[in-house]
Structures are given as C-alpha cells and as structure tokens.
Amino acid sequence: MILNTELEYKGDLFPSSIIEYKKDVDVLHFTTANNVKLQLTVLRDSVLRFRYSTVGKFNKDFSYAIDKNASRGYNHLEISDDEEKYIVTTAKLICHIYKVDLRISILDAIDKTIICQDELGFHWEESYELGGDIVKMSKVAQNGESYYGLGDKPEHINLKGRRFENWATDSYAYGKNTDPIYKAIPFYTGLHNGKSYGIFFDNSFRTYFDFCQERRNVTSFWAAGGEMNYYFFYGPKMEDVVVSYTDLTGTPELPPLWALGYHQCKWSYYPESKVKEITKKFRDLKIPCDAIYLDIDYMEGFRCFTWSKEYFPEPKRMVKELADDGFKTVVIIDPGIKIDMEYDVFREGLEKDYFCKRADGPYMKGKVWPGECYFPDFTRPKVREWWAGLFKELIEDIGVKGVWNDMNEPAVMDVPGKSFPPDVRHDYDGNPCSHQKAHNIYGMQMARATYHGLKRFNYPKRPFVITRSAYSGTQRYTSTWMGDNVATWEHLQIANIQAQRLALSGFSFAGSDIGGFAEQPNGELYARWIQLGVFHPFCRTHSSGDHGDQEPWAFDDEITDIVRKFIEIRYELLPYLYTTFYQYYHDNVPMLKSLVLFDQEDTQTHYRTDEFICGNQILVCPINEPNSKGRRMYIPRGEWYNYWTKEVITGGKETWVDADLDTMPLFVKAGAIIPKFPVQQYVGEKEITQLTLDVYYKDGKEDSELYEDANDGYDYTKGRYSLKKFNFAGNGDKMIIRIHKRGLFNTSYDTFKINIHGLPFKVKSIKVDNEYVDLKEVKFKNNSLVVTKLFTNLQLKAD
C-alpha cells in the first residue's frame, strides 16, 4: 500500500485505524478512532456499496437513482480478518479493508488479482466556506487501465488522461471539449488486464472525476458536498458491469414501437398549415415517418399547457387528422411557468405553494422563454402529482402522444451560471436541501412527473417522453437527446461518441439532433448523419430553424433518395431494433456496443471511437468526412458480411471499406439471423403477413433473438409476447436453425421468408421439424424459402 505522504492536500483529513467492526446481515459497519464510519453493503456477489460518514452517523438513505426493483442477493458471503485487514469474500470478489486506515482493495475471487485498489482512498476536507464537506476518493490506476462511461460528454470514448465535471448545464452549440453539458451520470467502468469493473458515485452534488490526468497513476472522484457513497460492480466482462449498473438504476418499459420509427422536428413548425405541409410531403415522397414535433411556438406566449389560438385554433382536430395519417404528435413542455395571474397553471401553482423558493423566502424567479417565471419543485411528490395531472387535456382529450421536456437543467437566461442560484430550496422527497444537491436531479424529476402524466392519460397505450437533462436512473422514465449540437462534420463524430457513451452509461434510448441543431448542414453532411442516426435507438431530425430547412427533401433529389433509402432500412430493421430494446428493457443490455464492450480482450478496441455494434450483430461505422468514397475502419474479431456486397471479411484488423454517398460501412455478424419488416410509411401502416429472416451463413454457431408483441399497450407484461431464440449451426454441407419459443403472443403473420446469404453448398434436401419436405413446397429458390412460423427445426443439406 502507498502511504499518505506528500501527495495529500494540506487540508485533507483521513480515517484513522479501525476500532470497531459489526456485521448486520449483509451490512458491515466499521468505525475508526477518529469517528469515521464505513458502511459496506454486499448487494450481490459482484456488487458492493460503500458509504462513509465523518460525523459518526449517516443521514437518511435516499437516492433518486436507484431502481426499487434492483436485484439483490448473493450466493456466498464470508468475513474474516487477520492482523492487517478484514477480508470479505463473495462468490465473485474479495474485498480487503485495512485496519490501519480503512483503505480498500478489491480482488478477483478466483485468480486473486487486484481489480481496484484505494490510493489515498476515502478522505475529506471540512469546509464551512464551501458549505459542507468535500468528500474525496482516489484509486490506484492499474497498468494499461482504460476508462469509459460518464454519460454523453462529447470528447472521446476512452476517458483516460481526462478530467470531468458533472453539473447539468444548458450548453448551446457545445464543442468537443465542453464540459459539463446537460447531463450528470457519475458512473464509469475501468478496464485493465482483460478485466472490467465499474463505479457509480451516487452523489447528486457537483461531482468531479479525474482519470489519470492530474497524476498519471491515480483516478479520483470527489463531490462538493453530500456523502461519499459509491457502488462497485465487478465484471470481469464489461458488458456485465454495465448490465449490473443498469439493473441497479433501472431500464424503461418498452416504448410504443412507433417511437423507434423516424421523427421529424424543428424549432418550430407552425401554423397548422405548415405542419400539414410537412407531414403531407413525407407521405407524397414516400419517406417513412412516425412522429411530428411542436416546439415552443405552439403555445400561447410560451405558457405550458396552452395552445396558440392563432397558429393552432383546433388542436384536437389537427392531432386527430395527423394521427389518421399515421403521425404521432409530440409537444414540448418546459419547466418555467409564466408569472401571470390570468394563467391558471401559474395561479394554481402559486395557491398550492408548488414553486421553488430562495433560502430567505422569496420565490425563485428566472427569465426563460415566457419571460419571468417560477419553477415547480419537482422534487416534491405532491408537485409531481400535480404536474402529471396537468397533462389530462393534452393527452387524454387532444390526443398528443409524446412530450418533450427541454430546459430542465434547469436553464435560466441572462444570469451567471445559467441556472438557479445555489441557495434555492428543494423538498427532495422529504429530505430538504439546497439547489446544490438538487440541481443535477431537477430535470430527472421533471421528466419523471411528465412520464407519470402520460402514462396515466394515455393508458392503456404506452407513454413516450424525451428529456434533455438527466441524472443516473432517468432512463427509467424517458428517452433523451444530446441537446444543441452543430451542423459540422466534427459534430457528426461527436453524436456517435455521445450515443455510445450514453449506452455504456445505462441510458440507451438516445439520439442526436440529426443534421445538427445550430447552423445549416449541406446535403452531404445531412445524408451522412441520417446514415448514423438510423442506427441510434432514438432517431430524430431537429434544427434550430433560424437557417434553411432540414427535412429529407431540403437539399436535392439525390440526397432525398439517400435519406429515404436509409430511413427505409430502419423501418425494415424495426423487429431487430425492437428486439434490441427488449434486451435492454429485460436483460439490462446496452443497445449500442462500443467495440471495447463488444470485445474487451482485443486491446485494439480500447481506443476505437467510430465503429459500434447496433444490437448484437450489426456493425456500423459512419463516414465522418466530406467527399469520402469510403474510409478505413477497424473490423472486430470474427467474421462479418458486408451488408451491401455480402462479401465476408475476417476481423481483427483495420481495413478500407468503400462507401459512396449512397452507402456506408455496414456489416452483419456471420451466423446472425436478422428479422425484417416490409417498408412501411409508419408503424402499423401494413399488417405484417410474412416476416423476413435474413440468415448469414457461418461455419459454426451463433445465437439470435426475436422479440415481438402488440407493439403498444401492456399485454406483454401479462405474458402476451413472443420471444424466439434462434440457434444457428453450419458445418460446410449442412445448416440447422433451431428455435426455442416463449410467450403467448400470436403474431399476425403465418410464415417466415428465409433468405440465406453465403451458403457454401447447393441445397439437395430440406427438413422441417425432422420431416423431409419438397423443395417446391417451401418455394425454394436462390437460397430463399418460405416456412411456417411454427417450425422449431430447419435443416438444409448438400445431400
């Protein structure tokens, strides 16, 4: 162990030696001579929680981040001690707690290698000046260690050598190095020696993380208040680390399938005739689209829950007409409520005392779009309940299908810090505190209240919410976008990094403003951005509207055709994307996988940023530069089919891939079975009478899944879903697909159309469920065939 020497900052205080130890089922209590307490909770064999107190007792345990359904329970727990340390052993890890100074080391239970080790460990600074203790933690950086996560900060996938701050901030036209931005997600994973672990610092104050920037061999994190309270997750697979964190902080319910379609947005489409002109054009040009957005100008003077009589005289009729044409209407709702005694939402909020106040009593007053506003204290259950109720008319009566929460960092105009002053008071669900603690969770609680409103009034259909600000756990309630990006090639790359980083941080349902929010893309940039965007879980074009148009037809016909082609690919892939969402919802698996998460043993992947896997089997790499005919990219290990040419390439190397403007580097994992819909102009336009399965032959095995349900509603929670697991096996002159089925949902189609790519032999015989069938009977032609959806075993042979 390293000693506390000249490294420490003068004002820092440290735990002294342990004088007391107590075990209370799965919670271990340690007390030091200088009255520092450590509460170590064993949540699972691979998940530990560390809480430290410097005043001899703990405050009430409360967190907005933790999902109440998080898994708990371990297979093995054993505690012993020797001269030097306490030793906690679970089935997955060993934790040492040093008696002399409370420092921690965590080891792999099987091979006893060090996974994570305190450097100075827990220490703190008493600060009356700064309004409370600064709690600090430092860890030894292991040899060759890399770091990932922390939400959608734009810089890089690998965080090594960088320093970050978490403080939700409205950051119009942010750049590669802007930090902080809109979200605060204090979770990262470390990877070294082939093993990965994660740390979630569940502290909503302003937090900081340093990954070997200040000191080459040290990683540290600290907060400007609150408790040193962190969770440790052990993999060793990085995917399992992210899965564990996501299990702890939760996943959303399944979205309505239309929410995975293409969305069109702009600031702003108005009046009604303009909205109709846009939606009609989508249908005329046959470009699939499921959602149309109304930005702040639909309101009366930016008053939430009102409509501009001039622009939208009959919202209910309009929303219905849009719905009849397959468009779901999504409207923006901001947190600021205009100070206006004639405005009932304001009056009610005032009468019921729902608005945030300053420390000395006056209301928190701030300027946003409507002018001077007050702001609901969304951290109070009663206020959230009220807020949810405000959606009755919009959702139940008018028929709006989605709500977009903006400005919820919270953003305030023309003030230093662009937000509330630190003294603003919040209820924090009965744990009163200042804005310093509530700031980072304010947007989350607003989105949560909005979600409950939609869920209530849209029932039995599923809600759809999108938020700009977020803290860990926000993904339970809402999707998100990355805020006000810029129409530049660099921002196309940033969007790619951000979506991957969010997925690595438990928040998969995310996408960028396609084409860029600020400034004007040219057609080429827009087309390249659409190519990336159709592989992001949330797919929406949005722009600030103070420049030219940003619809698929705003450039030239060539661009329109390319954009249509890629949106059509997304609509074909809807069953694949939906299955990917199911795996996120049900198994906590991130929907996008950075190459490092896909194959951490291959060190080549540790610094890759552009390539990622969408779902489990589609490798995507956007073109990030103008005038490209293709690009160099890294193909991860294994065999991959070029999506366009069906050529097979063996990965583990960098290679050039052709990609003229109407195509992009796209690969499918060998052995994959990719389900496809026919192209529809919107979800549900066509009844699906046959499902296509694209099979990519492999010498060897590969598993795939297909999840289906009613695409909306809650029947799936009562067993009415269909989950099929496909086991593919090929061996040169034979291929077999086995299906295992679960669930009670009956799909609308009766047959699969199976297209086999790369089959190395000429088919002589086919068996369905162990019976030979005539090749004509299954319409066998060019390695395609039609079989009943009920088959459980399909075999094709060369003899």
Nearest CB to ligand MIG, comparing residues 43 and 294: 294
Answer for which of 45, 108, 377, 406 binds ligand MIG (CB under 6 A) is 406
Per-residue binding letters, 58-97, with ligand MIG (x by CB under 6 A): ----------------------------------------
Q: Distance between CA atoms of 539 and 530, rounded to whole angstroms?
A: 8
Q: How far is the CB of 330 from ligand MIG (least distance, A)?
A: 12
- Tell me, rounded to whole angstroms, the distance of Cα 240 from its chain centroid: 16
Q: How far is the CB of 656 from ligand MIG (least distance, A)?
A: 37
Marked catalytic residue, from 227, 377, 484, 705: 484
* 610 lines the binding site for ligand MIG (CB under 6 A): no
Q: Exposure string (b/e) for 558-586, b if CB count within 10 Å is 16 or more? A: ebbebbbbbbbbbbbbbbbbbbbbbbbbe
Amino acid letter for position 40: L
Q: Which of 115, 5, 91 is nearest to 43 (CA)?
A: 91
Nearest CB to ligand MIG, comparing residues 290 and 484: 484
Nearest CB to ligand MIG, comparing residues 437 and 542: 542
* 3 state SS of 597: helix
Nearest CB to ligand MIG, comparing residues 332 and 785: 332
User: Is there a catalytic annotation at residue 409?
Assistant: yes
* 575 lines the binding site for ligand MIG (CB under 6 A): no
Tokens linked to 764: 């002589």
Q: How far is the CB of 266 from ligand MIG (least distance, A)?
A: 8
Answer for which of 212, 318, 332, 614 binds ligand MIG (CB under 6 A) is 332
- Tell me, rounded to whole angstroms, the distance of Cα 341 from its chain centroid: 40
Number of Cβ atoms within 10 Å of the Cβ of 340: 16
Answer for which of 256, 473, 483, 511 binds ligand MIG (CB under 6 A) is 483
* 484 lines the binding site for ligand MIG (CB under 6 A): yes
Q: Which of residues 487-546 bind ligand MIG (CB under 6 A)?
A: 517, 542
Q: Which of 247, 260, 263 is nearest to 72 (CA)?
A: 247
Query: In Å, what is the CA distance from 429 to each residue of 64, 168, 262, 380, 446?
Result: 9, 20, 37, 5, 13
* 3 state SS of 237: coil
User: Is there a catalytic annotation at residue 484?
Assistant: yes
Q: How far is the CB of 540 from ligand MIG (least distance, A)?
A: 10
Strand bridging mode 540-541 / 513-514: parallel
Per-residue binding letters, 542-571, with ligand MIG (x by CB under 6 A): x-----------------------------
Q: How far is the CB of 153 from ligand MIG (least distance, A)?
A: 17
Q: Distance between CA atoms of 797 and 768, rounded to whole angstroms?
A: 12
Q: How far is the CB of 429 from ligand MIG (least distance, A)?
A: 27
Sequential DSSP letters for 299-317: SBTTBTT---TTT-S-HHH
Nearest CB to ligand MIG, comparing residues 383 and 411: 411
User: Is there a catalytic annotation at residue 685?
Assistant: no
Q: How far is the CB of 182 from ligand MIG (least distance, A)?
A: 8
Indicate the burial class of 697 (C-beta count within 10 angstroms; 0-12, 13-18, 19 or more): buried
Strand bridging mode 470-471 / 673-676: unpaired
Indicate the burial class of 189 (C-beta count within 10 angstroms; 0-12, 13-18, 19 or more): buried
Nearest CB to ligand MIG, comparing residues 267 and 752: 267
Strand bridging mode 77-81 / 793-797: unpaired
* 295 lines the binding site for ligand MIG (CB under 6 A): yes
Nearest CB to ligand MIG, comparing residues 147 and 302: 302
Marked catalytic residue, from 409, 513, 702, 708: 409
Q: How far is the CB of 265 from ligand MIG (least distance, A)?
A: 8
Strand bridging mode 218-223 / 734-742: unpaired
Per-residue binding letters, 244-283, with ligand MIG (x by CB under 6 A): -----------------------x----------------
Q: Distance between CA atoms of 615 and 622, rounded to whole angstroms?
A: 16
**CB 710, CB 684: distance < 8 Å:** no
Q: How far is the CB of 308 from ligand MIG (least distance, A)?
A: 14
* 409 lines the binding site for ligand MIG (CB under 6 A): no
Q: Exposure string (b/e) for 253-278, b if CB count within 10 Å is 16 or more? A: ebbbbbbbbbbbbbbbbbbbeebbeb
Strand bridging mode 510-511 / 479-481: parallel
Answer for which of 28, 296, 454, 525 binds ligand MIG (CB under 6 A) is 296
The closest residue (CB) to ligand MIG is 267
Marked catalytic residue, from 119, 145, 406, 572: 406
Strand bridging mode 666-669 / 639-642: antiparallel
Q: How far is the CB of 395 from ligand MIG (least distance, A)?
A: 20
Catalytic sites, residue numbers: 406, 409, 484
Catalog residues that contact ligand MIG under the rule CB under 6 A: 267, 295-296, 332, 406-407, 468, 483-484, 517, 542
